[in-house]
Amino acid sequence: MQRVCFQLQVKPDRIAEYRERHAAVWPDMLQALASTGWHNYSLFLRDDGLLIGYVETPSIEDAQAGMARTEVNGRWQAEMAEFFVDLGDQQPDQGFLVLEEVFHLEDQLASNDQSTTRMQHTEPHPNHEEEDVR
């Protein structure tokens, strides 16, 4: 499962309305997102309009393509496009900046657990000291 974090910029004069719109997303939009692979999807909005999104999905490309095939997404994106800065000709769900993941706790814990397990099988246990045979 891919973890995808992305960034957009909401226009300062549209922040309040953006919050309102996302407090009551259309039920058919919610259903379309869920059925096209958008899981554990969240949006975070800073007071200056910085928007950070997070989604878990088998493939962000497939999830975007799946939404592009839905009628509801066309309507939603057309309405949302006016809220954002610097999208050019792109819709919001295609024009976001994907951020690089540089740390994930569970991955590092799993990696550390595997390293520890390997070390335990290859190194003598510290509590088994050799007997003194004088």
CA–CA dist 51, 84 (Å, integer)? 10
Give the burial class of 10: count Cβ atoms within 10 A of its Cβ; 0-12 exposed, 13-18 middle, 19 or more buried: buried
Name the residue among 67, 55, 63 with its Cα closest to residue 4: 55
- Annotated active-site residue 121? The verdict is no
Catalytic residues, which ones? Answer: 22
